[in-house]
Structures are given as structure tokens and as C-alpha cells.
Amino acid sequence: MSIKQPAPSFSQITSLPLEDRDLRTAEACQALGCKKTKLFDLIAAGEVDSYLDGTVRKITGASIVARRKRKLAEAQQSRPRPANHHELRRSRETGSAP
């Protein structure tokens, strides 16, 4: 007796980049690495764009990519990284700033 595998989702079989796709809520949650409650919080806050396609909620891939870029920019502004870990180690050993 073989175990049936679930059919691959559209996002697993398509070659379109994320920016050009619109995702269902489960796919958007997977792309964002969050649960459905957090996804709807992000929609309510205007962090990601969505629309109804009939009765199906769709989230634009472009808004997911834009959010990821915003979060990366925020992280880099709040905590700039040293050029490499060797410089950080040297600065700790010598007591000087990198």
C-alpha cells in the first residue's frame, strides 16, 4: 500500500518569480514563514496587499517581496554588520572600534 503524496501547489511548480504571482493565504504564510493570524495582522496593518478573487483571498507576491526588503533595510540600519567577522574579532582583542 503506497502513501499518497499531496499534489504540488502552484507555487511549487511554477517558474514565475514571486513578484509576478498572487498567492493564496496558505502559500503566503509559507512564503512569509508565519501563521494565518499573523498574515491577517500584516494585511490589516497594510504591510502586505491583498484582494478577494471571488471568495478566495489573494496576497500579491510583490508586496511580500517589498516587505522582505523593508525588513532587511530596517535590520541593517538598526545594527550595521562589520565588514567580516575577523575585523570584529580583532577589534575585541585590541579594544578598538571596528
**4: phi then psi, degrees, rounded to nearest 5:** -75, 135
pLDDT value at 43 more than 70:
yes
The structural domains of the chain, with segments of one domain joined by +, span 17-92
At residue 57, the pLDDT reads 96
Burial of 57 (0-12, 13-18, 19+ CB in 10 A): middle
At residue 10, the pLDDT reads 57
At residue 29, the pLDDT reads 94
pLDDT confidence tier of residue 65, bands split at 50, 70 and 90: very high
- pTM for this predicted structure: 0.66
Mean of the per-residue pLDDT values for the chain? Answer: 83
Please indicate whether residue 91 or residue 29 has the higher confidence score (pLDDT): 29
* CATH class of this structure's domain 17-92: mainly alpha
